[in-house]
Amino acid sequence: SSNPPISNDLTDSSQQDGKINPGTLEDVNSSQQDVKINPGTLDELHKKCKDVFPIVFEGAKLMVNKGLSNHFQVSHTLNMSSVTQSGYRFGATYVGTKQFTPSEAFPVLLGDIDPSGNLNANLITQYSPRTRVKAAVQAQNSIFSAAQLTVDYKGDDHTSSLTLGNPDIINESGVLVAHYLHSVTSKLALGAELAYQYGPTVPGGEIAVISAAARYTGADAIVSGTLGGAGLHLCYYQKASDQLQLGVELETNFRMQESITSIGYQVDLPKGDLCFRGMVDSNWNVRAVLEKKLLPLPFTFVLSGAMNHNKNQFRLGCGLIIG
């Protein structure tokens, strides 16, 4: 942001014998230096760019959201597809009353389940303004298949996170991931990730991978990247206007010796209550999602399309969200 104008009227208290006293313009300049803020979590390093890209689906989808109170909401989803599993899913979301900021309330409980016993459940709670705990469990055919626990600590200019995934005391296996992201300036954040996995299926019994991360935030653009032994991940986000956002993503896997580049964009037309997301990548995949609010009714119509030119494949999805 531009610096506020400095008055040309320098009184005697700030000027003597043609010299500027300490505590005037020097203090103004020092007060206008970068103010470091919390950079968020390392998991959200590429979030701005990722949000531009469409999330496609195939077949027909009907979702009904119903708020039972200010804190409790249920959803009913019917999915019919020839590619993914078809059927009905029931979801529920509960938001508690503990507030540390006007826009957030805790705890948050959300999950969904289908008649076959496939379950996804998440718990997010905050014990203090700086400490947040997230837990997630997943079950397939009524048998628990995955579990994850994450603790985030947010300082004034940094965030530390520790994640424990799929701990198994009997088989002595699991995954431990540590994240750290620090605001060097108001625009530049640097961080690191340490991932450690152990278990009988891991070659040598254990393995550790370390990665470095960086993000630069400009007025209308964000550049972020991670580099480690496994690969390279770069993202560029640009807000071209109030209606147009652009994103470019490069992912390289050193072990597989593969790279893929994706270009995505999002167009918002508030007057038409319409949002369009599209993308194309170096594997000749083209994907797009159109969302149209059917006001004044609480309906949202969603149209999804995906095409691969090399494989001559095309997937079409059509959905309606009520509520």
Structural domains for the chain: 44-322 (2.40.160.10)
Cβ contacts of 144 within 8 Å, gap of 6 or more: 137, 138
| 108 bridge partner residues | 95, 124
Q: What angle do CA 135, 141, 147 make, to 5 degrees?
A: 20
Give the pLDDT score at 141: 86
219 burial type by CB count under 10 A (0-12 exposed, 13-18 middle, 19+ buried): exposed
What is the spatial distance between Cα 276 and Cα 244, in angstroms, rounded to a whole number?
10
Task: Give the pLDDT band of residue 34 (cuts 50, 70, 90).
Answer: low
Give the pLDDT score at 19: 37
Neighbour tally for 241: CB within 10 Å = 9
**Chain mean pLDDT for the chain:** 90
Place of tokens 């609480």: 298
> Tens digit of pLDDT for each residue in 162-180?
999 999 988 899 999 999 9
Instruction: Give mean pLDDT, residues 280-299.
Output: 96
Nearest to 276 by CA among 292, 293, 262, 297: 292
What is the spatial distance between Cα 213 and Cα 224, in angstroms, rounded to a whole number?
8
Taking a C-beta distance cutoff of 8 angstroms, is the pair 230, 211 a contact?
yes
What is the spatial distance between Cα 77 and Cα 243, in angstroms, rounded to a whole number?
30
193 residue type, one letter: E
Is residue 234 scored above 70 in pLDDT? yes
217 residue type, one letter: T
Label the pairing between strands 258-269 and 143-154.
unpaired
Place of tokens 């995934």: 165
Buried b / exposed e over 106-129, threshold 16 CB at 10 Å, is: bebbbbbbeeeebbbbbbbebeee
Place of tokens 């991932």: 195
What is the spatial distance between Cα 74 and Cα 92, in angstroms, rounded to a whole number?
4
Q: What is the pTM assigned to this prediction?
A: 0.84
> Tens digit of pLDDT for each residue in 192-229?
999 999 999 999 999 999 999 999 999 999 999 999 98
Taking a C-beta distance cutoff of 8 angstroms, is the pair 222, 231 a contact?
no
Between the alpha carbon of residue 57 and those of residues 82, 85, 86, 164, 318, the distances in Å are 11, 12, 12, 31, 8
- SS3 category, 278: strand
Please state which of the ranges 3-7, 83-87, 293-297 shows the lowest mean pLDDT: 3-7
Is residue 2 scored above 50 in pLDDT? no
